[in-house]
Amino acid sequence: MQTSGEEIVKKFRPTKIILPIIIGLGITAFFIIRDFDEEAYAKISWGTSTFFWVFMALVMMVVRDVAYMYRLRILTEKAISWGRSFVVIMLWEFASAISPSVVGGSAFAFFIVNKEGIKMGKSIAVVMATAFLDELFFILIVPVILLFVGTNSLFIDVDPTGSLSASYGKSLLYFFWFGYLMVCVYILIVSYALFINPRAIKYLMVKLFSLPLLRRWKHYALDTGNDLIIASGELKSKKFVFWWRAFAATCYSWTARYLVVNCLLLAFTALTLSDNLLIFARQFVMWIIMLVSPTPGSAGVAEVVFPAFLGQFTPLGLAASLALLWRLISYYPYLIIGAILIPRWVRRKLLSKK
Phi, psi of 196 (to 5 degrees): -125, -65
- Rounded to an integer, the average pLDDT of 270-292 is 88
299-338 pLDDT, tens digit each: 888 888 888 888 888 887 788 889 889 999 999 999 889 8
Average pLDDT across the chain, whole number:
83
Would the pLDDT of 3 be above 60? Answer: no
Confidence of residue 354 (pLDDT cuts 50, 70, 90): low
106-141 pLDDT, tens digit each: 777 888 888 888 887 788 888 889 989 999 999 999
- Domain limits, the chain: 5-36+44-353
Instruction: Please give the Cα distance from 86 to 146 (Å, whole number).
Output: 34
Would the pLDDT of 173 be above 80? Answer: no
Instruction: Please give the Cα distance from 283 to 101 (Å, whole number).
Output: 16
Task: With beta carbons less than 8 A apart as the criterion, state whether 269 and 314 touch.
Answer: yes
pTM confidence score: 0.86
Using a 10 angstrom Cβ sphere, with 0-12 exposed, 13-18 middle and 19 or more buried, the burial of residue 95 is buried
CA angle 15, 84, 340 (to 5 degrees): 20
Instruction: Please give the Cα distance from 320 to 307 (Å, whole number).
Output: 6
